[in-house]
Amino acid sequence: MAAPSRFSLKLRALFWRSLSNLSSSFFDRYFSTPAPPRASFVVSIPTTIAKVKGSIPLQFYTPRTYQQHRKLSNGSGRPSAGKLYPVVINFHGGGFTIGGPGDDARWAAAVVEEGVVLVSVGYRLAPEHPFPTGIEDCVAATLWIWEHADEFSLDKSRVIISGFSAGGNFCFAVPMRLYAELEERKKQGRPLFSSQSGKLAGILAFYPSVDWTQSRAERTASNAISGVKGPIPKALFDLFDHSYLYPGSLDMTSPYLSPGLAPDELLLNALPDSIYIHTCEWDQLLVEGEKFRERLKGLGKFVSGSMTKEVVHAWDKRPSFSKEHPVRDRVYAEAMGEMMKMLDSKS
């Protein structure tokens, strides 16, 4: 069967984006309590890595003390001394095709309660921008945050990346693409930053996809209950795959598509030592996520996290409709504990 046209994919993507905004963002914001926070402010930055130029919105979620402690200019164009905040750079989910940087507002709320700034990246979506544009936008955002850390009172040596689903894939693909970018700049003798380079202190990845060499059918077969309990219809999976994996001749073993298959040396050099991976019992991505967890442990990485029983993919993004969400609260608290360990190790 021939792949759908790009025009057809764009129309379908618009439909699913509207439905996603209604079922998740609208109902979660107006029919669940407490309401998720809104971004403190938004900064739009230019693309610097991708071939197709454009802009990338960055949503900043900040602790209550941020504005009073933010460093002010001393008149010389340089920021004066002040508090530096650790930062989590977040990549949202949505099959690389739907969703947006505000989808993880409840995650952002948990992060800022720990006194950490969260920056959610509005990377460009497929099918308008297929692989690898989203990854390259997230690399550009990470570099920009490092380069402008002083301006926004951020501690560039205490940076963590987080992501959900497709964003979980980016949690591993982005550091590897970032590593390649920095190595290329070194070879060309290009300056890396105006000051000392930034550092990744850790990764917080939720139900990531890490092996695109498997078909959807093979993924479901690896965890049969996901075919019964899974909430994502085949039509949506087809949209995700045809939109992002364009053209169809892509090498699915690329580390930027399948981080779980990346060479050992690249994983060792590009990924930080501390990694948190959360998986779901009723998810077709469970087996590849757990396999990757064990591989990283075998390489000497410190890998924490857990598998939550009896939950489906993206379970934490569903509206609670004014009910408490104790499982989500427990998992986010677990991740917060690991986040603080990662940040403390770099302080």
The answer to whether 97 and 103 have CB atoms below 8 angstroms apart is no
Q: What is the mean pLDDT of the chain?
A: 92
| The amino acid at 1 | M
Q: Are strands 154-164 and 85-91 parallel, antiparallel or unpaired?
A: parallel
What residues does 42 pair with on adjacent strands? 59
**pLDDT, tens digit, for every residue of 215-230?**
999 999 999 999 999 8
The single-letter DSSP state of residue 65 is T
Q: Is 273 a catalytic residue?
A: no
Helix (H, G, I), strand (E, B) or coil at 119: strand
Element (H, E) at 161: strand 154-164
Q: Which of 256, 93, 260 has the alpha carbon at shortest distance from 163?
A: 93
Q: What pLDDT is attached to residue 195?
A: 40
Q: Is 58 helix (H, G, I), strand (E, B) or coil?
A: strand
Q: Output 100 or 26, whichever has higher pLDDT.
A: 100
Q: For 161-201, what is each residue's pLDDT tens digit?
A: 999 999 999 999 999 999 999 999 989 887 665 445 789 99
Burial per residue of 132-163, b for 16 or more beta-carbon CB atoms within 10 angstroms, e otherwise: bbbbbbbbbbbbbbbbbbbebbbbbbbbbbbb
313 flagged as catalytic: yes
The pLDDT value recorded for residue 344 is: 94
Q: Verify whether residue 69 is a known catalytic residue.
A: no
**Of the listed 25, 165, 226, 274, which one is catalytic?**
165
Q: Which of 46-50, 65-69, 108-112, 265-269 has the lowest mean pLDDT?
A: 65-69
- The C-alpha atoms of residue 198 and residue 143 are separated, in whole angstroms, by 8
Residue in 92, 129, 242, 313 annotated catalytic = 313
At residue 145, does pLDDT exceed 60? yes
> pTM for this one?
0.95
pLDDT band at 68 (very low <50, low <70, confident <90, very high): confident
CB atoms within 10 A of CB 63: 17
Active-site position among 137, 283, 304, 316 = 283
Residue 109 phi, psi (nearest 5)? -60, -40
- How does pLDDT run across 226-251, given as a tens digit for each residue? 999 988 999 999 999 999 999 889 99
Task: Read off the pLDDT of residues 280-336 as tens digits, 9 standing for 90 and up.
Answer: 999 999 999 999 999 999 999 999 999 999 999 999 998 888 778 999 999 999 999
Higher per-residue confidence, 20 vs 121: 121
Average pLDDT for residues 81-93, to the nearest whole number?
92
